[in-house]
């Protein structure tokens, strides 16, 4: 038996040559097919192509070379007869390789579908759902790979149930060692599920402010107004007081003006009505109140409150500018003077001393 008789495992050398040719031919054929499909896919616009076409193209790109080799070896094994032990071992290797490739395909399918769905939600201005989808995509990939690994181990003869029980005990020690990371991870899930903010929201945390760019598993990235990126730990972020200006539906504005103490009584009575008239002439504005509020150190103070019915900061500034300019014009017409810090000094001549 063996080499001297011109046989190996009961198969003549010429049969092994045919098996080798079949294996190499199948592997090279699959690799050539992938190359042809990849070139054809590159000719189409990835935006206008149908979603199923883009999904299939992504699956082709995610097919690994080791898969072609394994398929080629499996095809070659069908030509020859192998001993039971070798055949079982080879079948296990083929199955594990196939499961690994299925994991790559499944991960690609999850990522492609979630990216497509998240893009639709962003176009619909539903950033909250888009943020949730990204986190669910990570969890789906974790579950997929966990299932693939367990199935592969089970087919390799490893008792999965005993291993899971052992991992459960070891997981407690690992959790204690990485508790900071776990806190950020659970904080990330809380952000995704509770949605105190989503991607695109403008938030203020302490004295830092900016637009949310990315919500990760450990950190959240915020782009500040001055251009730099701010990185917050998810756990620290949830323990802070967050002001979300994207959720604002109106702005309540309070401002005050001061006039001089020399202003006549009749004109003081005119000022609240004058302010109301000026405010109500503006668009997207709801007047609340205007009152003579207090006697200041050097002015008579009037307090004004109104609501801008849109949250846009630029609109609020435009409205306030129009109000200020109109107040200046109307006060000039009525001869009402704005107050500014002044002091009145009284000089008294001392009485002459009695001689």
C-alpha span between 185 and 191 (Å, rounded) = 10
186 — pLDDT class (breaks 50, 70, 90): confident
State the CB neighbour count (10 A cutoff) for residue 203. Answer: 22
Inform me whether the pLDDT recorded for 4 exceeds 60: no
Give the residue-averaged pLDDT of 96-117.
Answer: 80
Q: Is 185 exposed, middle or buried (0-12, 13-18, 19+ CB in 10 A)?
A: middle
Angle at 347 between CA 343 and CA 352, to 5 degrees: 170
Q: What is the pLDDT of residue 97?
A: 83
C-alpha span between 46 and 54 (Å, rounded) = 7
C-alpha span between 17 and 297 (Å, rounded) = 106
Q: What is the pTM of this model?
A: 0.49
Q: What is the pLDDT of residue 2?
A: 45
Tens digits of per-residue pLDDT, 249-291?
889 999 999 999 999 999 999 999 999 999 999 999 999 999 9
Tens digits of per-residue pLDDT, 172-182?
555 555 566 67
Tens digits of per-residue pLDDT, 202-211?
999 988 999 9
Closest C-alpha among 121, 73, 62, 126 to residue 95: 73
325 — pLDDT class (breaks 50, 70, 90): very high
Q: What is the pLDDT of residue 47?
A: 54
Tens digits of per-residue pLDDT, 25-70?
888 888 888 888 777 766 665 555 566 666 677 777 778 888 888 8
The CA distances from residue 175 to 41, 143, 150, 185, in Å, are 45, 19, 21, 12
Tens digits of per-residue pLDDT, 298-310?
899 999 999 999 8
Q: Give the relative orientation of helices 179-194 and 160-177 as an angle to the nearest 10 degrees.
A: 100
- The residues pairing with 208 across neighbouring beta strands, listed in sequence order, are 205
The CA distances from residue 297 to 62, 216, 263, 270, 310, in Å, are 76, 53, 15, 22, 36
Residue of higher predicted confidence among 336 and 85: 336
Tens digits of per-residue pLDDT, 233-251?
888 888 888 888 888 888 9
Q: Is 286 helix (H, G, I), strand (E, B) or coil?
A: strand
Q: What is the pLDDT of residue 168?
A: 56
Residues 6+ apart with CB under 8 A from 141: 107, 110, 111
Q: Is 158 helix (H, G, I), strand (E, B) or coil?
A: coil
Pairing of strands 229-233, 251-259: unpaired
Q: What is the pLDDT of residue 154?
A: 73
Q: Where are the alpha helices (DSSP H) in 178-335?
A: 179-194, 234-238, 265-280, 313-334
Q: What is the DSSP letter of 245?
A: G
Q: What is the pLDDT of residue 51?
A: 64
Average pLDDT, the chain: 80
Residue of higher predicted confidence among 99 and 168: 99
Rounded to an integer, what is the distance from CA 32 to the centroid of its chain?
39
Q: Give the relative orientation of helices 127-155 and 160-177 as an angle to the nearest 10 degrees.
A: 130
Residue in this structure with the two tokens 């000022």, named with its chain if needed? 271
The CA distances from residue 354 to 271, 350, 351, in Å, are 54, 12, 9
Q: Is 6 left (phi over 0), alpha (psi -120 to 50) or beta?
A: left
Inform me whether the pLDDT recorded for 134 exceeds 80: no
Q: What is the DSSP letter of 207?
A: T
Q: Is 215 helix (H, G, I), strand (E, B) or coil?
A: strand
Q: Could you tell me the end-to-end alpha-carbon distance of the chain, in angstroms, rounded to an integer?
A: 151
Tokens standing for 125?
Answer: 């201005």
Q: What is the pLDDT of residue 1?
A: 43
Q: What is the pLDDT of residue 305?
A: 96
């Amino acid at each position: 038996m063996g080499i001297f008789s011109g046989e190996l495992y009961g198969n003549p050398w010429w049969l092994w040559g045919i098996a080798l040719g079949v294996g190499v031919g199948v592997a090279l054929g699959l690799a050539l097919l992938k190359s042809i499909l990849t070139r054809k896919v590159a000719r189409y616009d990835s935006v206008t192509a149908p979603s199923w076409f883009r999904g299939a193209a992504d699956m082709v790109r995610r097919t690994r070379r080791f898969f072609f080799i394994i398929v080629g070896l499996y095809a070659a094994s069908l030509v020859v007869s192998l001993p039971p032990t070798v055949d079982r071992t080879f079948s296990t290797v083929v199955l594990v390789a196939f499961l690994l490739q299925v994991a790559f395909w499944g991960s690609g399918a999850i990522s492609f579908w979630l990216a497509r769905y998240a893009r639709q939600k962003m176009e619909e201005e539903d950033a909250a759902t888009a943020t949730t989808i990204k986190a669910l995509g990570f969890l789906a990939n974790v579950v997929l790979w966990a299932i693939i690994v367990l199935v592969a181990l089970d087919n390799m003869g490893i008792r999965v149930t005993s291993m899971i029980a052992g991992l459960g005990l070891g997981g407690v020690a690992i959790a204690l060692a990485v508790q900071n990371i776990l806190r950020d991870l659970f904080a990330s899930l809380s952000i995704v599920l509770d949605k105190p903010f989503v991607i695109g929201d403008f938030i203020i945390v302490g004295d830092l402010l900016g637009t949310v760019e990315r919500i990760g598993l450990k950190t959240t990235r915020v782009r500040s107004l001055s251009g730099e990126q701010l990185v917050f730990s998810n756990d620290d972020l949830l323990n802070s007081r967050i002001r979300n200006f994207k959720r604002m539906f109106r702005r309540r504005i309070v401002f005050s003006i001061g006039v001089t103490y020399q202003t006549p009584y009749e004109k003081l009575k005119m000022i609240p009505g004058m302010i109301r008239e000026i405010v109500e002439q503006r668009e997207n504005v709801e007047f609340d109140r205007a009152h003579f509020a207090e006697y200041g150190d050097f002015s008579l103070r009037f307090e004004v409150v109104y609501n801008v019915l849109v949250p846009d900061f630029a609109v609020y500034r435009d409205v306030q500018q129009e109000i200020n300019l109109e107040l200046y014009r109307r006060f000039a017409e009525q001869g009402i003077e704005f107050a500014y810090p002044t002091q009145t000094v009284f000089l008294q001549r001392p009485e002459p001393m009695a001689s």
